[in-house]
Amino acid sequence: MKFGSPIRGLGLAVVALVVVAACGSSGGGATGACSSDKAKTANSASACGGLDALIAAAKAEGKLNVIALPRDWANYGALLDGFKAKYGIDITSDNPDGSSQDEVNAVKQLGSTSRAPDVLDVGMAVALANTDLFAPYKVQTWDDILTSQKEATGLWFQDYGGFMSIGYDSKTVPQINNFTDLEGSAFKGKVALNGNPKQANAALNGVMMANLAVGGTVDDISKGVDWFHKLKTIGNFSKTQATTATVKNGTTPVVFDWDYLSAAHGKDVPTWKVFVPNNAILGGYYAQAISKSAPHPAAARLWEEYLYSDEGQNLWLAGLARPVRMAAMQASGKIDQPAAAKLPAVNGTPVFLSDAQSTAAKNYVVAHWDAAIA
Amino acid sequence: MTTAGSPAVTTNVGRPFLGGRRFSLDWVGAVPFFVYVVIFLMLPSGIVAIGAFFDANNAFTLENFVHLNRSYVLKATIDTTIVSLITAVLGAIFGALLAYAIVTGNPDGVLRRMAVSASGVLAQFGGVTLAFAFIASIGPAGFVYLFAKSHGFDYYKDSLWLFEIPGLDLVYLYFQIPLMVLVFLPALDGIKPQWREATESLGGNSWHYWRHVAGPLLFPAFLGGVLLLFANSFSAYATVNALINQSQPMLAQQIAGALSSEVGAFEPGFAKAIAIEMIVIVTGVTILYTVLQRRTARWL
């Protein structure tokens, strides 16, 4: 009988949660030229004697531990190889397919042991909930990052991401020029979300994009939920989850998803197009953070400098992720133009949700979503 | 050996260590089973039951159970129960008919062996694979649909029902029917052809045979099959999740929704309360089954 399995799963999950115990650690300070000890509290390269001193200290450490960085995700493979080749520092890449929560758990469990992660690449919800684990640091290109995309002291700073978009197979459905085109009869049963908005961040942001597109505000997502109710009533909304497989076989020819993930469908479906509505440019970015208990504090800071250099940013871009300094680099002409051209064009001012706004949106969606599209 | 009135002696000799009623070791064989049950059934159930009374800050609360009357949980409860009932009853009926058809054939024939092995495989064929098999064949981009549509039969004209409850019923039947075949075959094998001959020699016809002989004998097994199918469908998760990701019509999905959320809708206590609700419903159905079975088997 299969009845026992979910209960068992629950029980095991609970046991696993209980086993996760938090450990703390404290960083010691030191003076003198940049060293591991001094880097631990350095909140910028200049606070540790400049970039060259930081490089020397990092080389002395000789190692860097990263976690949850899949080589095929946002071009991390090239970034890891590039850093290693440039500075001769060995990288230990742990649990490449882990989640943001796995990263935080590893920091808590491994403390400051030599296997503990030095740097983290996490989703915003996890970043905001765990700032007590991070060491503040400002990369040299700090000013290029919008204020809404970083924590003022440098506990976390967004790295790459993109905008919510509507991806569609132009062979199956007509070209989308306006958001309200989706209400047309050509889209019957064809519009899907990437996940359930009660659970998946991409789907929640999809509802928020609809909300903004139909005149809602970032503080109140109700118009977005109402719009999906309307879409369901018309018969255009598909209740199945959009995956690479459903896009490939044509079951979900119209998908709300991040533009950089959606653009990747072009590999399977050459006629796939990505549209970002001008009146609803909703940004979603991951964030970098340095672990407070990093076993290789200098290498950790050097890794961030590398990621936020023009070279690092262009490597992310080559993986279809929008680097956080993209606008500044477009202005200075340092951007990799052919790579940038592969991403959908965006005209307008991007919007980023604050923590309070995402919480309000989540609470409303959890309470009203099922009823709206049942 | 002993005489009345000397109790001390009686207790001494009454239970010899060797010979007579020995200290039995028979239960040792069952130890692995009991250990298994305790670790994989009782312990998690206990953790879930206790956890349902605590909130996120580990304070005692009944709030988790109050949340069970949220409109979407009530709807999921009703939907889950109805889907489970429909697929259990239909699955049991079709499964029983199929099993009967198999039994009437040659007991060592190729057809029977093939049907039984196919049932064994298909009864376990669930989850994402099954959902996608349906999506790829009869789904809105599936070859069956495209073929039917090009011949003027657009079965999604009114709604995309594959991703609604009716679609779920259809997909569930795909593993419910073979499961019923598997559990009902042994019961049918127990029916002896001589009983039918006896009925006929006593002047009974086919109706009399089914109404008074085979029917009552098979009914408890049939009910047991319905119960198994009900629980099977009641707790299924992966299949429905791959098919209907929005609106989470099944309770198992609501548990997942409260338990794992990227967006911060994390209510572990509430998830456990839903699990308790599921346990209560299945227990209720099991009790109902026991009562029914007792009534039907009373005069056998």
Burial of B114 (0-12, 13-18, 19+ CB in 10 A): exposed
Distance from CA of B11 to the nearest CA of A (A): 47
Three-class secondary structure of residue B62 per DSSP: coil
Q: Residue A39 — very low, low, confident or very high, per pLDDT cuts 50/70/90? A: very high
Spell out which residues of chain A touch residue B136, defining contact as CB-CB under 8 Å.
249, 251
Longest dimension (CA), chain B: 99
For residue B282, what is the nearest residue in chain A, using CA coordinates?
A3
Q: Are residues A231 and A368 located together in one domain of the fold?
A: yes
* A279 and A182 assigned to the same domain: yes
Q: Do A6 and B275 touch (CB under 8 A)?
A: yes
Return the amino acid letter for B120: G
Residues A29/A60, Cβ–Cβ less than 8 Å: no
Let me know if residue A274 belongs to a domain.
yes
Task: Count interface pairs A-B at CB distance under 8 A.
Answer: 158
Indicate the number of domains in chain A. Answer: 2
Q: Which of A351, A361, A312, A359 is nearest to A149 (CA)?
A: A351
Q: Which residues of A touch B164 (CB under 8 A)?
A: 239
Asked whether residue A68 is domain-assigned, the answer is yes
Amino acid B295: pLDDT: 77
Q: Is residue A18 part of a domain?
A: no
- CA A269 to chain CA centroid, nearest Å: 24
Separation of alpha carbons B43 and B37, rounded Å: 8
Average pLDDT over residues B166-190: 93
- Whether residues A288 and A278 share a domain: the answer is no
Buried b (16+ CB within 10 A) or exposed e, A193-207: bbbbbbbbbbbbbbb
Query: Out of A245, A250, A362, whose CB is closest to B263?
Result: A362
* Partner residue opposite A189 with nearest CB, options B160, B242, B245: B160
Cβ distance of A14 and B51 shorter than 8 Å? yes
CA distance linking residue B279 with residue B264, whole number of Å:
26
Using alpha carbons, select from A261, A235, A275, A287 the residue that is nearest to residue A124.
A287
Residue A358 lies in a domain: yes
Summarised one tens digit per residue, pLDDT across range A260-278 is: 888 889 889 999 999 999 8
The residue of chain A nearest to residue B46, with distances taken between CA atoms, is A11
- Closest CB to A2 among B41, B236, B246: B236
Do residues A136 and A40 share a domain? yes
Residue A369, domain member (yes or no) = yes
Same domain, A298 and A268: no
Q: Which chain A residues contact residue B44 at CB under 8 A?
A: 7-8, 10-12, 14
Nearest to B262 among A15, A200, A365 (CB): A200
Residues on chain B touching A4 (C-beta within 8 angstroms) = 40-41, 235
pLDDT of residue A25: 32
Does residue B261 carry a pLDDT above 60? yes
The one-letter amino acid at A79: L
Same domain, A351 and A225: yes
SS3 A122: strand
pLDDT score recorded for residue A29: 37
Best residue of A3, A19, A171, A193 to probe chain B, by most B CBs closer than 10 Å:
A3
Query: Are residues A195 and B45, on separate chains, in Cβ contact within 8 Å?
Result: no
Q: Looking at the complex, report in whole angstroms how far the Cα of residue B163 sits from the nearest Cα belonging to chain A.
A: 6
Residues A66 and A114 in one domain: yes
Decide if B234 and A3 are in contact by the 8 Å CB cutoff.
Answer: yes
Residue A229 lies in a domain: yes
Give the per-residue SS3 of B139-187.
Answer: CCCCHHHHHHHHCCCCCCCCCCHHHCHHHHHHHHHHHHHHHHHHHHHHH
Q: Are residues A105 and A196 in the same domain?
A: no
- Label residue A227 exposed, middle or buried (CB < 10 Å: 0-12, 13-18, 19+): buried
Asked whether the beta carbons of residue B40 and residue A4 sit closer than 8 angstroms, the reply is: yes
pLDDT higher than 90, residue A237: yes
- Mean of pLDDT over chain A: 87
Which residues lie closer than 8 Å to B290 by C-beta, 6 or more apart?
none
Contact between A189 and B156 using a beta-carbon 8 Å cutoff: yes
Distance of alpha carbon A113 from alpha carbon A102, whole angstroms? 17
Q: CATH 1.10.3720.10 spans which residues of chain B?
A: 63-297
Q: Are residues A170 and A225 in the same domain?
A: yes
Which of B71, B244, B245 to mutate to probe the A interface, most A CBs <10 Å? B245
CA distance B32 to chain A (A): 18
How confident is residue A100, by pLDDT bands cut at 50, 70 and 90? confident
Residue A137's CB is within 10 A of a number of other CB atoms, namely 27
Nearest chain A Cα to B266, which residue? A199
> Residues in chain A, how many?
374
What is the C-alpha end-to-end distance of chain B, expressed in Å? 48
Note whether A102 and A201 are same-domain residues.
Answer: no
Report how many helices (DSSP H) and strands (DSSP E) chain A contains, helices first.
15, 10
With CB atoms and an 8 Å threshold, state whether B278 touches A6: yes
**Distance (Å, rounded) from C-alpha B249 to C-alpha B79?**
6
pLDDT at A98: 78
Q: What range defines the domain where residue A230 resides?
A: 162-283+347-373
Q: Considering the domain boundaries, does residue A207 fall inside one?
A: yes
Over 70: is that where the pLDDT of A172 sits?
yes
Between B268-297 and B43-51, two packed helices, what is the crossing angle to 10 degrees? 120
Q: What is the residue type of B240?
A: V
For B283, phi and psi rounded to 5 degrees?
Answer: -60, -45
Is A6 inside a domain boundary?
Answer: no
- Summarize pLDDT for A305-360 with one digit per residue, the tens: 999 999 999 999 998 899 999 999 999 999 999 999 888 888 888 888 888 898 89
Q: CB B44 to CB A198 under 8 A?
A: no
Query: Is residue B245 very low, low, confident or very high in pLDDT (cuts 50, 70, 90)?
Result: confident
Verify that A273 and A291 share a domain, yes or no.
no
Q: Chain B: nearest CA to A198, how far in angstroms? A: 7
**Contact across the interface for A6 and B255, Cβ inside 8 Å:** yes
Which of B71, B168, B241, B263 has the highest number of chain A CBs within 10 A, making it the mutation to test binding with A? B263
Nearest CA in chain A to B44: A11
Residue A175 to chain B, least CA–CA distance (Å): 19
Substitution target in B168, B262, B283 with the highest count of A β-carbons within 10 Å is B262
How many other C-beta atoms lie within 10 A of the C-beta of residue A101?
Answer: 18
Alpha carbon distance B13, B10 (integer Å): 6
Residues B44-100: tens digit of each pLDDT: 999 999 999 988 778 898 888 998 988 889 999 999 999 999 999 999 999 999 999
CATH number of B63-297: 1.10.3720.10
Indicate which CATH number applies to the domain containing A225.
3.40.190.10
Q: State CA A276 to chain mean position distance.
A: 18
Least confident of A16-20, A142-146, B13-17, B296-300: A16-20
Between A3, A239, A251, which is nearest B141 by CB?
A251
Give me the helix-helix angle, A4-19 and B251-259, nearest 10°: 10
Same domain, A357 and A261: yes
pLDDT of residue B109: 84
Minimal CA separation from A223 to chain B, in Å: 18
Q: In 3D, which of A241, A204, A185, A238 has the Cα closest to residue A365?
A: A204
How high is the pLDDT of residue A33?
Answer: 80
**Rounded alpha-carbon distances, angstroms, from residue A262 to A168, A242, A243, A290:** 9, 11, 10, 29
Q: Which chain B residue's Cα is nearest to A185?
A: B157
Our CA-based measurement puts residue B258 at a distance from the nearest CA of chain A, in whole angstroms, of 8
From A79's Cα to the closest Cα of chain B, the distance in A is 26
Res B167: pLDDT: 93
Task: Determine, for residues A370 and B247 on separate chains, whether the beta-carbon distance falls below 8 Å.
Answer: yes
